[in-house]
Structure 1
């Protein structure tokens, strides 16, 4: 599907993209003719500011679970849009193999098993991203990228020292020179270099 955009009035009183999408994914449709009953409810959803992830449960007319799948929506949210269309979204489910693979663990944990190849690939990519983001790097750690990173001054470097500046992470060269910034650091592939520790020599008093 393409993008659907709307004004605040069209959002039906919902103040945020998350509230609107939660409501859209919660419904019951009675059986009509050859069309069976359809029920859907959101078990858990997370909205990051540009992407919405939800674990949505499909159930039957008795309220019994059929399966839980992931629904992903790309979101555009601009309350000050000049044309009044402040909200837009593009929805897809995991069977479509979305490119966006930053689904939180709390949503992934609720999904039921699937055999769909695109959904399986998407879930693998999400767990790989989680593994990258959940790495712990400490002040003073030396990290090494697979390939040198090129910066605006033309320099290229592969190894960086981690320095904590309050809540910020600052990168320097291994010897402490320079200050570098690498966007989305924890989503990138790098290794933590295990440096040999030099024991201090102790000279007892004569």
Structure 2
């Protein structure tokens, strides 16, 4: 599958709002709505999407979109996206826990593995201390050796 580029966001204030609207719809056989979404690093959009069939069957699954947004693009194509769902085993695995927590259980193997990768990445991010402005970082001896011998 390829990328879709466009020259406007159809009146939406940003990529996240545009994509939320794209994945929210009502049709006779199915309705879909975004329960929660996140645009991580202005590069990857993650959404928990609720899909309810006409028979009442409900599923909440993840959608992942690669995003390119440049409002000053020379050719006027300010927004591009490539969408996939979690069962396509996206390489991107930075989905926030707030989105993951809304997903219903699944038996699709790629989706299960993707969710595990996202949880592991979130765990690693959570264990990394946040630096404050002006904070001093002390390097270990191995870094000193590499700098002086390099």
TM-score between both structures, scaled by the size of structure 2 = 0.87
Segments of structure 1 that go 5 or more residues without pairing to the other structure are: 31-36, 139-163, 181-206
Bigger RCO (CA 8 Å, 6+ sep): 2
1:134 matched residue in structure 2: 126
Q: CA deviation at 1:14?
A: 1.2
2-structure distance, mates of 1:101, 1:176: 30
Q: Which runs of 5+ in 2 are unaligned?
A: none
SS of 1:99's equivalent in the other structure is coil
**Alpha-carbon distance, 1:176 to partner:** 9.1
Q: Does residue 4 of structure 1 match 2:4?
A: yes
- Could you say which structure has the higher strand fraction? 1
Supply the RMSD in Å over aligned alpha carbons: 2.4
Residues in 2 aligned to 1:26 and 1:169: alpha-carbon distance in whole angstroms: 47
Deviations 1:30-52 (A, max 9, x none): 2xxxxxx0111000000120000
Aligned-partner SS, 2:122? helix
Is structure 2 residue 57 aligned with structure 1 residue 90? no
| Secondary structure of residue in 1 paired with 2:45 | strand
Runs of 4+ in 1 over 3 A off after TM superposition: 167-171, 174-178
User: More helix per residue: 1 or 2?
Assistant: 2
Spell out, residue by residue over 1:141-174, the C-alpha distance to the aligned partner (whole angstroms, 9 max, x if none): xxxxxxxxxxxxxxxxxxxxxxx66366735124
Structure ID, larger Rg:
1
Question: Paired residue for 2:17?
Answer: 19
**In the TM superposition, what is the alpha-carbon distance from 1:137 to its structure 2 partner?**
4.1
Find out whether 1:113 has 2:105 as its counterpart: yes
Residues 175 and 123 (structure 1 numbering): CA distance in 2 closer, same or farther, change over 3 Å?
A: closer
Q: Secondary structure at the match of 1:134?
A: helix
Instruction: Tell me, yes or no, if the aligned pair for 1:70 and 1:93 is still in contact at 8 Å.
Output: yes
Where do residues 27-46 of structure 1 align in structure 2 (5 Å cutoff)?
Answer: 27-30=25-28, 37-46=29-38
**Secondary structure of 1:126 counterpart:** helix
Aligned partner of 2:52 among 29, 47, 59: 59
How has the CA–CA distance of structure 1 residues 52 and 165 changed in structure 2, closer, same or farther, with 3 Å as cutoff? closer
Distance across 2 between alignment mates of 1:104 and 1:58: 20
The one of 76, 91, 105 equivalent to 2:68 is 76
